[in-house]
Amino acid sequence: MSDGFVARSLDEVLFWSRIMKEHSFFLKLGFRCEDTQLIQEANHFYAVFESIEHRANTYSIGTDPYTIRRFNEETFVAVSHIWAFKRKVLGLILACQLPGGTNFPLLVDHVSREANYFRNRLAELNSGKLEPLPDAIIDENVFFLRIMADHAKFISHLLDPSERKLVEQANDFSHDFDQLLFQARDLESMRPQSQTGPLLDQFLDQNKVSVKSLRDFKRTARELIEACRIKSIIHPLLADHVFREAERFLLIIDLFEKSLTGHPVPAPHEVSSFAPNAP
Ligand SMILES: [Fe+2]
Ligand SMILES: [Fe+2]
């Protein structure tokens, strides 16, 4: 196993297990009170990911890599299960089996995509499979730009309709990120010819500007929600959750930028992953 395997694994697991735990909580909030079975399942996943998070906190970079490898495998299984649960819930909603529930289908699909992303990261870490840097840059951006575009849509739809200015701002972000996502997909379909240094660098620059501005908007929204200064049905934890995901995307962009411009260029795997001590 390569250097940094333990640190990278712990960083991914700590970040994403908290995210999975919170998804369980958000899904539960959106179920109807008579959906006791689904509520129980959501509670179960909350406990599973809380325990994974606690375990990750007991390990350190000095932990035996084989212990971490096994831990990643166990986490992979738990993530597969929550992914299946989310897809089941999506099926129920789309078949109109949960009338009156408040989980948007796109939100359920979104959280299942995040589970799938986490699962892939764990598989990559354990297999030591290296994705070439230019591919990692395009793939991660396609994934996260869509996530950001979805967040803007959720914020717009969960704000009270009377918050006209904020809804308008959220809709502008939604449009901006849809455009960035289309651009990213264009670059994706033009590869490998599109994977030149200048094009990838410009791609990252442009995305970074928009992600920073969305991150700041989310921070403001979070503060306003926590202080009860705006009308919405956004849980304060959801506001913080989407803020943290934007911060994560920014960190990834920074690592890619450094590896494109700086030298020596780290192994591709290190840039498609996270710096061990990233905040
Ligand atoms: Fe999430
Ligand atoms: Fe998200």
Task: Give the Å distance between the CA of 16 and the centre of ligand 2.
Answer: 11
The residue among 129, 149, 169 that closes a domain is: 129
In terms of domains, do 73 and 172 share one?
no
**Looking at the CA of 146, which ligand is closest?**
2
Q: What is the CA radius of gyration of the chain?
A: 19
User: Which pLDDT belongs to residue 261?
Assistant: 84
The residue among 79, 105, 129 that closes a domain is: 129
Domain boundaries, position 189? 131-279
Which residues of the chain have a pLDDT value below 70? 1-3, 263-279
In terms of domains, do 155 and 17 share one?
no
Specify the number of domains making up the chain: 2
In Å, what is the CA distance from 153 to each residue of 15, 52, 173, 178? 23, 30, 8, 10
In terms of domains, do 247 and 209 share one?
yes
In terms of domains, do 136 and 232 share one?
yes
Q: Where are the alpha helices (DSSP H) in the chain?
A: 5-30, 36-58, 65-94, 105-127, 133-158, 164-189, 197-226, 236-261, 268-272
In terms of domains, do 139 and 123 share one?
no
Cβ neighbour number for residue 125 with a 10 Å cutoff? 23
User: Which pLDDT belongs to residue 1?
Assistant: 55
* C-beta separation of 260 from 197 below 8 A: yes
Task: Give the Å distance between the CA of 21 and the centre of ligand 1.
Answer: 10
In terms of domains, do 109 and 235 share one?
no
In terms of domains, do 187 and 116 share one?
no
Q: Which of 268, 273, 259 is nearest to 8 (CA)?
A: 273
Task: Give the Å distance between the CA of 177 and the centre of ligand 2.
Answer: 14
In terms of domains, do 166 and 115 share one?
no
Task: Give the Å distance between the CA of 29 and the centre of ligand 1.
Answer: 15
Task: Give the Å distance between the CA of 19 and the centre of ligand 2.
Answer: 8
In terms of domains, do 150 and 253 share one?
yes
**Looking at the CA of 151, which ligand is closest?**
2
The residue among 107, 129, 151 that closes a domain is: 129
**Looking at the CA of 106, which ligand is closest?**
2
CATH number, domain of 168, equals 1.20.1260.120
Task: Give the Å distance between the CA of 196 and the centre of ligand 1.
Answer: 32
The 8-class DSSP code of residue 132 comes to P
Task: Give the Å distance between the CA of 149 and the centre of ligand 1.
Answer: 13
In terms of domains, do 172 and 277 share one?
yes
Task: Give the Å distance between the CA of 66 and the centre of ligand 2.
Answer: 31
Task: Give the Å distance between the CA of 253 and the centre of ligand 1.
Answer: 18
User: Which pLDDT belongs to residue 197?
Assistant: 95
For helices 133-158 and 197-226, the axis angle rounded to 10 degrees is: 30
